[in-house]
Structure 1
Amino acid sequence: MTEPTALFQQGVAGSPIFTKVHTRRGFEYIYEQIRNAIAEGQLKPGDRLPSERDMAQIFGIARQSVREALRALEASGLVESRLGVAGGVFIREGDPRVVSRAMTDLASLGALSPSSLLEARIILTSDIIRMACERATDDDFQKLDEDIAFTEQQASTEAGVERTAQIMEFYHILASATHNEVLVILTDSLSQIVHLRLNRAGPKPNKDIGKVRRRVLNHLRARDAEKAISEITRHLKRLEKVLLQAEKAKALELDTSS
């Protein structure tokens, strides 16, 4: 683990990593300098940042601005605070949930249209199925089988948030069958948005979901990617149609009650 203050003052090649701040919104510049140092590999997971007092001296700025920058970095998933004698603020390991949160926020703010999300989901899931047909192991198929069995048990319940979270787990396991962690992260990000939309619209039991997924699994086991893609694409399009209708009904209900 890199010693904090000396590295910040001297840098890797003898020049300082950071420069003093000369602006009223200094915390933003501190945030950017630390973020850039991480991107360039000058700061690595596990490195401890100097204390607030030392950072204030390094940047030539008030401790309050340092505190605001650290809060922003922690909210972004770049650093974490640890308590105790060996505590402090550390560069954290990469957290895939940051991607999911960012995409979910964009969707919540209306920056991602439902049609674009559906299109992306179909393209991504299709490629995942093709890759899973080539790479999936018997253990992967077993996990999908167990998940489908559990979903079939839960499909008729009114469990709401918990039930929709379980329904989304299928796509996580399917993406994991590609043995490509990037595809898993992207899948989880899109699934989180669907999860949010389902719960906002008011999730309804879908007794056919187990049958659809079992047909997909049968095609996967037969290594027939195109049939599996056709099955899941029909399902995703039906789901989007139901979601849009529910969202419109919800919006109309809010308009009439206001």
Structure 2
Amino acid sequence: MGGPRFEPVRTVRAYERVVEQVEEAIESGALAPGGRLPSERELMVQFSVSRSTVREALRVLQARGLVRSRPGDPNGAEVLPFTPAALHKSMTTLARVAELSLAELVQFRMVLDGSAILLAARLRTEEQLAEMSRAVEAMKAAAADDADGFGAADVAFHDAVARASGNKLIQVCTDVVRSIVLRLISDKIAGAPDREALMRRSVRHHEEVIAAVRAGDGPLAARLSKKAMYDYYAAYVPVNERAALRALLE
């Protein structure tokens, strides 16, 4: 039989309605960070629900990083300020659930890093430039026989660049996407027969990027950064998907 296929109707639980209303109050600014929700008893009255429903709603709100609720606290739950950690968790879940391909994730990393280095070249302080340089020197020192140290120094470099960009969203997204990409290919990188050569080539790329940042040439730094990322990751991406990465190099 043709026509649309409908799904069974799901009954919305009472605690979900409580969560929705509190979220809306926080998003609208009616509840500000540092403020307090009414007590459990008052919430029971206002929402006309049981204590167990109120407590379940508070558990969900706390899990989402929106409030902090302490057992036995006579005051209501505290509304928390937004933190990058909450976005980090949401983005990680999105990437897992959406089953993004490695090519899509690497492409997004190239976009993020290119933009971050462009901004950093123009906005960085001398101390931030020094921090990037120290990270590259640490990469160089570790390239021969310390893969873990090399990886940590590489992370430190990109974190320094993201901070120098001055954009918190870039910082969070960079951290999330990098961790997901590395988790997907960590075994392949660890087993690469030419791993030391890859690390040394990566150091040279980073030195070129640093030179462009020091000169304040953002467009050049961005091009070099994206090319370095392509050279490092392209081999792990299916051949028929590499064109999407190369498009960012043109």
Q: Same fold (TM over 0.5)?
A: yes
Change (3 A) 1:36 1:224: same
Match of 1:216 in 2: 209
1:226 corresponding residue in structure 2: 219
Asked if the contact 2:58–2:69 (Cα under 8 Å) also holds between the matched residues in 1, the reply is no
Q: Deviations over 1:127-149 (max 9, x none)?
A: 22222221112111101011222
**Residue 44 of structure 1: aligned partner:** 32
Unaligned runs of at least 5 residues, structure 2: 1-10, 239-250
Match of 2:146 among 139, 157, 166: 157
Q: Is the 8 A contact 1:47 1:91 kept in 2?
A: yes
Contact persistence 2:117–2:225 (CA under 8 A): no
1:114 maps to amino acid: L
TM-score (norm 2): 0.76
Q: 1:177 aligns with which of 145, 164, 188?
A: 164
Query: Matched residues in 1 for 2:103 and 2:50: separation?
Result: 47
The size of the alignment, in residue pairs, is: 221
Query: 1:81, 1:87 within 8 Å by CA — same for their partners in 2?
Result: no
For 1:142 and 1:173, locate their aligned partners in 2 and report how far apart those are by CA, in whole Å. 10
Give SS of 2:35's match.
Answer: coil
Are 1:146 and 2:134 matched, yes or no? yes
Give secondary structure in 2 for the equivalent of 1:141: helix
- Describe the superposition over 1:64-83 as per-residue Cα deviations: whole angstroms up to 9, x where unpaired: 22222111111111112347
CA distance in 1 between partners of 2:187 and 2:50 (Å): 43
The TM-score, its normalising length taken from structure 1, stands at 0.74
Structure 1 runs not aligned, ≥5 long: 1-22, 246-258
**Paired-residue identity, %:** 28
- Structure 1 residues 129 and 111 mapped into 2: Cα distance closer, same or farther (>3 Å)? same
User: CA 1:24–1:135 in structure 2 vs 1: closer, same or farther (change >3 Å)?
Assistant: closer
Q: CA deviation at 1:110?
A: 4.1
Deviations 1:1-21 (A, max 9, x none): xxxxxxxxxxxxxxxxxxxxx
Choose the corresponding residue for 2:22, options 29, 34, 39: 34
